[in-house]
Chains A and B, each alone.
Chain A
Amino acid sequence: MKKKYCMVIDSSVCIDCKACMVSCKVQHKVPRGFWRNWIKNSDPDFTLGKYTSMHFQPGGCMQCDNPTCVYACPSGATFKDDETGIIHVNEDLCIGCGNCVKACPYHARYRHPVKRVPDKCDFCRERLDMGLLPACVDTCPTKARNFGDRNDPDSDVSRLLREQETVRIVSRPVDTEPNMFYLSSTMPMDWPGPVEYPAAHQAMVGVVNPLVKVAVGLSGLGVAAMFLKQLFTSDEASHEEKKEEV
């Protein structure tokens, strides 16, 4: 059966210990200065006195059902795996244009400085193949991060989604339909940025079904434009790419 992997996060128990971030970093050898996952935090309101509190919010790629990164990818390298629901990057097809990085409203992607292709959370697919949980979920002290298959009614995540109220964080312009759910409430909510499609590409996204694009391969107009862009993208340009703050 097809799977629909998702993460259900109880951010009320996240203690901002960063274990998930280090675990992920070791697992995927993510270079210094970059992250596949993160913890955001709310600002404490000290006027509340003894009730002053803080909320820590774990995050990572939301494995969206309406993935703007996939739509922005001119080469079909970024795709949603039909079998698992995970958004992957096929590094061999990637032309390194960086469109997907800008198109993700969650800043979930970064450009790998050595491989020069986008990198992001893939729910640790190689661990899943071994029957292990994603590294961040496995290591989390308070089990804030829960992971599993939504299509399996007996999974922990299905149960949580059934029994508890959840919220999703969506960007203002586009509902990306994320597969990252937060139990009851979470903070902060206002961090997703704009979805930036490259101008040359935008027209095309409007008319062409993203799946068609894969079939079209590299022959599309938008793709050609992206090729040019890639050629002119210098090293410095890559520094502008948003890296996640911790």
Chain B
Amino acid sequence: MKDKLPPLSRRKFLKTSLAAAAVTAGAGTPLVKSLVPGAHASGSRPPKGDLTSHFTACDMCFNRCGMIARVRNGVIEKIDPNPKFLKSRGMICARGNAATNHIYDPDRLKYPLRRTGKRGEGKWERISWEEALDYTAEKMLEIGEKYTRCGMMFIPGSDMQSQLVHRFAEVYGSFNITSHETLCLLSKNRAYLDTIGEVPYPDVFYSKYILIAGANPFEAIITPDTMDFFEARKNGCKIIVLDPRFTKTAAMADEWYQIKPGTDMAFFLALCHVIVKEELYDRDGCCPKMTYGFDEFFLHIQQYTPEWAQEECGIPSEDIIRIAREISAAAPSAMVYPGRRTSDYKDSTQIRRAMAITNALLNNFDKPGGLLALREVGVKTPYYDVPWYDDNPFDRVEAGLVPGLIDHEGSFQLMREAIISGEPYPIKGWFNFKTNFMQTAANRNKTLEMIDHLDFIVNIDIAMTDTAWYSDVVLPGASFLERKDPVSALQGSSACACAVLRDPVVPEMFESRSPFWICQELSKRMGFGDSFDFTMDEYRQKQLDGLDGALEAMLNDGVYYNPSQVYGIYSGSPLKTLSGVKEIFNQRYARSGVDPMPVYRKRRMPGENEFRLVVGRTAFFTHSNTNLELLTEFMEENVLNMHPEPAQNMGLKDGDLVEVKSQVGSGRLRLELTQGIEKQTVYMATGFGALSPQMSLVHNRGASIAEVLEDYHDEISGNMAMHETLVTVRKVA
């Protein structure tokens, strides 16, 4: 066997991996206790049965990396990366590797449950699927009857079946659909849509100079950017990071500036000031010709000098001037990294606008090493009829509350307000798939208040999350490894516009069912079964209509690439903005009374003995999906990071149990001192302090960001603003 070992080159081993032979090694103690059939039996004998390999796409976060699942005797033993999957550059992160833990989690939901006690009391009865579906359909119809179909709120998750849940919501008849993204990156999307007419992809791979503000891509892994930063760096790319925290991204950058939190806009306006004043922009290719409002901008940024910015954000003016010169010299293969999770302040969209405008001055859109336009992958959304209900209200419940709500996404936070006030019309039901707003949305007490106004909550998930814990009916969802999913088109960098699908790697465990099946069954019961009367294969066929060979490619390689044009998609044609060029001055903003160009305003700063609370993530958890034995080994509970200086003034020591308290709630967790945080800032990670005892590893461990964060929102997009909260910290006796 050993003699025949092929050369272990990354490119060649896919073939061999798929012809995997039986292994000879002994298996040790299984990590998974009760769920894996025969898990206890192995001892040190060689495992019996052949190992088979199956392509799939990861769903432990939104990246959808290509995976090969190794299965023996119907049990997934190991997950390996799919080397042909360019978007993920042939890797699987810690979370993806823990997918075996996810599917065989002893805390998994096993059968449908109906609440019998008060909400959150934890009294459940096991019911049959028949009962669960009948009951849910009955309740949904009742709400539709009493409060119109828009009386149901739908949150369809960010999953490969979410498009079907979305379809279900629409054919049910509600347009009150909101998303996880309203807690994440809508402000960024808004800003780029309003500047270049598109939400671009950073072409990190070919970039020569990257400025990262706030984002933490080495920890919050995003494919292929995280890997491409290093490829770019090998080719001489310089990486500059602005962050009040010494994140791992900061730790690995060429330069890290400990910016005062919330002052990024000052930095970027000053950067623009230098670029414009020193005429470092591309005079022929870009400004002023190919922009709208350059002259106004010229006057507008006179006030924002580097010296002024130094006062505001704490970054020396010489550095600002130097960075402006360096980044312009590297343009157009240079960028301000657009980032994700941009839901930080009340003026998030304007902060991201300042960054988008900097990118506009660098003239990097649609160019190698800059920001890329959306490419055609060619995957279609099968058509469906959306019914008309005469009694439905005219618009979404939160319409008009902010000027830049994004269609189909809305704003969870504003919807929550509307549900509590009952204005402009009542919403009484919530259909939730795979989001956990009780752990991720700011001001948990308000979410609880919202729940008090609801007659019916149904939740599909694979575990009893905090949100499920407060629901009326909990439906066990099939995990991504057990499902047949539609085709998803993926983008990212220049290397990959691709399509993926999933077929079941192992059968559904217990009584879990896919959301597609659930939507189908509910549709039948509610009288619109026609709209869901198709099989997954038929659906996929419609999606891939005209894409010859795509299905085969996906079945053979786990991925299909569309060799469409990468750069210069817009060359010669107008951008999708009002003016057809980059809008430095946004005309629509001007008309609706919004600052047409970003205006810097001082924000509320922490007073004495107060701190700004910032939140974030690690490389091994996705949001609140922390209840995994393999991963809590790295972090059993979250801690509060504080600089030693204020801690000393307050008599606090490393390891003290502290209470962190805001206007809306408080949490208890241990203090961890580090010089890697700005002095008036404290930090904690997402995903702990769970209310649900069935999240057994994180229940009551550490504190939940949702309980402490105050609920501010971005005033343009309605996106949650997660870094406006000021807190006090005191030692718990």
Contacts and interface: CB of A to CB of B under 8 A. Distances in A.
Q: Answer whether A and B are interacting partners.
A: yes
Interface of A: 3, 13, 15-19, 21-23, 25-33, 44, 46, 50-54, 83-84, 91, 112-115, 119, 125-133, 135, 138-143, 147-149, 152, 154-156, 246
Nearest to A133: B8
B257 A50 contact: yes
B17 A115 contact: no
Interface in B616-656: 619-620, 629-631, 633-634
Contact of A46 (B29, B633, B675): B675
Given A25-B630, A54-B252, A154-B7, A83 B25 contact: no
A15 to B, nearest CB: 4
Contact of B17 (A16, A28, A130): A130
Given A31-B31, A54-B251, A26 B8 contact: no
A19 B93 contact: yes
B712 interface: no
B30 interface: yes
A129 B2 contact: yes
A139 B97 contact: yes
A125 B28 CA distance: 15
B221 A141 contact: yes
A18 B7 contact: no
Contacts of B536: none
Range class of the B interface residue count: 35 or more
Interface string B74-93: 00011111000000010111
Given A19-B619, A133-B10, A148-B8, 11 more contacts: A17-B93, A19-B93, A22-B630, A31-B29, A46-B246, A52-B676, A138-B81, A141-B93, A142-B91, A148-B7, A246-B634
B573 interface: no
Contacts of A28: 28
B6 A23 contact: no
B28 A15 contact: no
A19 B8 contact: no
B12 to A, nearest CB: 8
Contact of B252 (A32, A50, A53, A132): A53
22 contacts: A15-B219, A19-B92, A22-B620, A29-B27, A29-B28, A29-B29, A50-B257, A52-B251, A52-B676, A91-B26, A127-B23, A128-B2, A129-B21, A130-B17, A130-B51, A131-B5, A135-B80, A139-B92, A141-B93, A141-B221, A156-B9, A246-B633
Interface string B337-366: 000000000000000000000000000000
B226 interface: yes
B226 A126 contact: no
B683 to A, nearest CB: 16
Going nearest first, the 5 A-B pairs with the smallest beta carbon separation are: A131-B16, A54-B251, A126-B25, A126-B23, A17-B619
B227 A142 contact: yes
Interface in B5-54: 5-10, 13, 16-17, 20-21, 23-31, 44, 51
Given A46-B675, A84-B2, A147 B78 contact: no
A32 B629 contact: yes
B255 interface: yes
B89 A141 contact: yes
A27 B78 contact: yes
A6 to B, nearest CB: 12
Contacts of A140: 91
Contacts of B1: 129
B256 interface: yes
B619 A26 contact: no
B619 A130 contact: no
Contact of B16 (A15, A17, A113, A132): A132
A147 B5 CA distance: 14
A83 B620 contact: no
Contact of B80 (A50, A52, A139, A143): A139
Nearest to B98: A22
Contacts of A131: 5-6, 8, 13, 16-17, 20
Contacts of B10: 133
B23 A135 contact: no
B230 interface: yes
Contacts of A30: 28
A126 to B, nearest CB: 4
Interface in B250-303: 250-253, 255-257
B100 interface: yes
A18 B634 contact: yes
Contacts of A29: 27-31
Given A115-B28, A130-B17, A17 B94 contact: yes
B567 to A, nearest CB: 25
A30 B221 CA distance: 25
Contacts of B92: 19, 23, 139
A15 B91 CA distance: 13
Given A15-B248, A15-B252, A83-B2, A132 B13 contact: yes
A135 B78 contact: yes
B539 interface: no
Nearest to B92: A139
Given A15-B252, A91-B26, A112-B28, A142 B230 contact: yes
A115 B126 CA distance: 39
